[in-house]
Structure 1
Amino acid sequence: MDSTEYAGFSWKTFYSALTCGLTFITVEINVRTSLKLVAAVAALASVFALSGCDDKKGDASKPADAAKPAAAQKADAKEPLKVGFVYVAPIADVGYTKQHDLGRLYAIEQVGKDKVTTTFVENVPETADAERVIRQMVNDGNKLIFGTSFGYMNYMQKLAKEYPDVKFEHATGYKTAPNMTTYNIRFYEGRYLAGMLAGGATKSNIIGYVAPFPIPEVLQGINAFTLGAKSINPNIQVKVIWTNAWYDPPKDTDSAKTLIGQGADVLTQHTNTSAVASAAESAGKMVIPYNSNMKSVAPNAQIAALVLNWGPYYAKKMQQAVDGKWDKTPVWMHYSDGALSLEGITDKVPADVVKKMEEVKAKLVKGEFHPFTGPIKDNEGKETLKSGDVMNDKDLSTMNYYVDGVIGKVPN
């Protein structure tokens, strides 16, 4: 019967299809079967024949991949690692999110476009929307996910428990899991140096600081900036306005104008926009931007810029994941790691102040200087660090006060 053909139907082809190891309903056919039924069976056999079966039967005792051609298996092994990034603000020309995105692009070039492929979602609020976005990234096949804002912490930890085969990296937080770690930069090191420049440049002795939320990371920056400024000019005052937003350009602008109205002639910010720099430029004041070099929006006002560099870290962690050697150890990078730098110092800062700053920076890079070295008092006169003591990471991570020189009280 193998060689019999009936109305274009080959029993040999049909038999071959039946032996492919597929499960189907057996159909009995005799010579009196109608042409229509035979034609239907022929169509069914054609479907089986086109499904990729051949005359050689696979060994059911071997994995499916064993039957694949070597070239196909090699191609599968080179499937790029999918990496996701979650950004709290839009990718603008400058700012916090821009620096993270520059880091993402740097990492792709370093690791190789054939090894990693990345996606990102920008302007993701620190609400349940973050969980939704990250969950979708997991469902899309991303095996390494970077969440770049403090408020994503609890959502990421929750999802890390649900998806143990995905690696999660959270910026600026402190909660971890077996497959979730944290990474951060010791911003306060650069803030101290920037404060020295501000203390030397101010004429009014009032410095304005636009801040988002009163979390330890931000308070470290305010206090280090103040300590640096006071090391040059003991008479300075730092005034802070809280916006309660990482990204809100109108609030940043209004805050900057208010600080200028209160006598500040040097501004800085911890928020994610260039609005403070723009306001300083419009008012003819000075600014030391944070996150990015903002010379493009404040060509006259900018006297220096504290710039963040996330690229080397992202490249390192992507490579670890590609190699199957991802390290869950939390990382808190130093100035000496190249994670931040002071750029574009202008002659509006006195030369002797710049020289002192460079000397302190050299010691900081060598590990011979720590910005939070006692004696340190809060702005109510209470000693928070004894003379000669160096603040440990635990105390830095729970900082909840202003040092002497900052005006006002920390919001609840």
Structure 2
Amino acid sequence: MWRAPGNNRHRIGEMSFWLDIARRAENAGFDAIFLADVVGVYDRFNGVEAALRLGLQIPNLDPLSLIPAMAAVTERLAFAATFSTTYEPPFAFARRMSTLDLLTGERVGWNVVTSYLPNAARNFGLTDEIAHDDRYERADEYLEVLYKLWEGSWEDDAIIADAAADIFTDPARVHRTNHRGTHFRVEGPHLVQPTPQRTPVLFQATGSPRGLDTAARHAEAIFIGGRTRDEVRAKVAETRAAAASHGRDPNDLKFYVMAGLIAGRTEEEAHAKLERYRKFYSVEGALAHAQAEIDLRAFDRSLTIAQALETSGRAFGNMGRRFGPQQTIGNALDQISKFDEGRFFIAGTPEQIADAVETWLDEDGIDGINLRQYHTFETLNDYAELIAPELRRRGRLPEPARAGETLRHRIFGQDRLPDTHPAAAYRASHQTSRTPETVS
């Protein structure tokens, strides 16, 4: 889509591009901008050359470095960014995220991922990916370290700034973490004073059973999907039940879907826009992004993907993220050519789009959408000018966030994680039962 006329995506290296997005998103009434990320290249299908040639998530900037600039030109807009628990130490990330939370006025969230690209592993000195479930075991301990730093290292009133007594921070109110685990050893204390949120809002996507368990234990905002209403509702119910099994209040979780909304003032205008977008869709790019084991275009359309893989002597692995083994080659190629249409996609008038969004909210049981950006800035402008006014007219959009409101308060009505969240066990208020070492 970067090739589409008027698309500004090629400007990702310009500060003005990100400031423009931030201002437009805040004026449109968005709660937050979500910045996805990977720390490797999609190089399993046709090698790194395909990703470079197609602009498939490379070049790719550090999302955490973009947030301060966008926050400086906005007052209410929040920011959620992806960061991996697999390759960088938790102590450094805790400091970076707390700094962002302070400087943005507590407007940040973190999308917890474990990273799955083999190239990412090799970029950080490993010969291959860490096994899937082992990555999640590491993630659980990573989060434990972060909770100790964010929630427990500093008491709320540690900074007293008493000039007469020459005391800026009361040492008795700051505590070392002294974490000694399987993967990490962190002495502490945390280097940044606490923010009102302390722990940023925790996002995560569910997929595998092990990933679901980690999300149910830790995540507050969960990205979910499904082909049908019943499938989505079943996933929501499963995740809430898993959260309850970990002692959490299942109602503390919010669920979001990636939604594609293509709007026009008339149906004809919307569908003309869809057709215009489709012309720029790349089957090769879709296969590269799926880390496909085979090139679907090289097989008879009547074969199933499982048969094609067997013929090629390949196992069904990465393609499972997007396709089914019994799906025919023709059906899979048609799915790609339809511009990734699914349950959470609609091209139509503002009224038709609002009808669909209301259905997803009421019947699927989701709490909101993550708007897929097709064209910069056309997608954002269409939402602001066409879709948002209709949703607001129906009472489906809350009032804009208030300046000074934390992201967690915006979503959940409170600044801190609830007491049933596992992070609460590490709070400074529990210090006496945990007898940590006080900094001296």
**Fold shared by both chains (TM-score > 0.5):** no
Larger Rg: 1
Give the TM-score of the pair, scaled to structure 2. Answer: 0.26
Structure having the larger proportion of residues in helix = 2
User: Would you tell me which structure has more strand in proportion to its own residues?
Assistant: 1
The answer to which structure, 1 or 2, has the higher relative contact order (CA under 8 A, 6+ apart) is: 2
